């Protein structure tokens, strides 16, 4: 699958969100980090902001739910029109039901794993998902350093997906930038979230272009 770039608006100016998403119109997705101050120690935005963003960008929204009780909230993001909704394995109590509800509402279903969560424990869920998100930092904040220790797990995830002949996208999120994206691509990732690497750049669209080129090898 071709490389896909998903700028994370966590590093954007929240007072100018419409302009900030327009600035990366050459991206494939807009990555939206929903944090509830319980699953992670940070609070960002929720469904009302997602509904407003849907009106100002033609790009699909990739909603990454870092929240407790995703079983309760995730289907609502799909029903609102998000292109992809990702729940955390560590937070979901009925992941199969929730992933199926996301798909029934017409969105792609994603499952996220924290750096310390083993992919092997979730191998049986692969047929239920369209994307696996590998956190390459502990979730909660932008601008953290990439955790190299996650790369072998990205490789194992790619092998599991290939071994089962599934079309599951593999996303990396956290510390992904010019210095790290090539290693992620080599390990088998094909969807790349970048927050600070895109929005700290003078020209965010050029940052997206350059990341895409690096990841495409």
Residue 190 annotated among the catalytic residues of the structure: no
Best CA proximity match to 113, nearest among 93, 95, 136 = 136
User: By C-beta, is 31 or 153 nearer to ligand DX5?
Assistant: 31
Which residue has tokens 């292109």? Answer: 83
In the list 173, 185, 211, 212, the residue contacting ligand DX5 (rule: CB under 6 A) is 173
By CB atoms closer than 10 A (0-12, 13-18, 19+), residue 1 is exposed
* Contact status: 10 vs ligand DX5 (CB under 6 A): yes
Stretch that binds ligand DX5, among 3-11, 20-28, 90-98, 182-190 (CB under 6 A): 3-11
**Residue 83 annotated as binding site:** no
Report, in Å, the least distance between residue 135 CB and ligand DX5.
Answer: 7
CA distance linking residue 101 with residue 61, whole number of Å: 17
In the list 33, 128, 130, 190, the residue contacting Zn ion (rule: CB under 5 A) is 33
Looking from the CA of 27 toward its CB, the CA atoms found within 13 Å total: 32
Residue 71 annotated among the catalytic residues of the structure: no
User: By C-beta, is 100 or 115 nearer to ligand DX5?
Assistant: 115
* Contact status: 95 vs ligand DX5 (CB under 6 A): no
Sequence-separated (6 or more) residues with CB below 8 Å from residue 3: 185, 190, 191, 192, 212, 215, 216
Q: Residues interacting with Zn ion, by CB under 5 A?
A: 33, 64, 173
Residues labelled catalytic = 33, 173
């Amino acid at each position: 699958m071709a490389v896909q770039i998903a700028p994370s608006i966590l590093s954007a100016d929240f007072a100018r969100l419409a302009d900030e998403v327009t600035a990366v119109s050459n991206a494939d997705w807009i990555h939206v980090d929903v944090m509830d101050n319980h699953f992670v120690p940070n609070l960002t935005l929720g469904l009302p902001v997602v509904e407003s963003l849907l009106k100002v960008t033609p790009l699909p929204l990739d909603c990454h739910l870092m929240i407790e009780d995703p079983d309760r909230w995730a289907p609502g993001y799909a029903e609102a029109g998000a292109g992809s909704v990702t729940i955390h394995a560590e937070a979901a109590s009925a992941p199969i039901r929730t992933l199926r509800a996301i798909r029934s509402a017409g969105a792609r279903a994603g499952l996220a794993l924290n750096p310390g969560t083993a992919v092997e424990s979730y191998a049986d869920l692969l047929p239920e998902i369209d994307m696996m998100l590998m956190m390459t930092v502990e979730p909660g904040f932008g601008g953290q350093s990439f955790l190299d220790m996650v790369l072998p797990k990205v490789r194992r995830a790619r092998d599991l997906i290939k071994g089962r002949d599934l079309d599951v996208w593999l996303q990396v999120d956290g510390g992904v930038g010019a210095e790290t994206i090539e290693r992620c691509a080599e390990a088998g990732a094909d969807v790349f979230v970048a927050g600070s690497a895109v929005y700290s750049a003078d020209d965010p669209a050029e940052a997206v272009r350059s990341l895409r080129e690096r990841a495409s090898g």
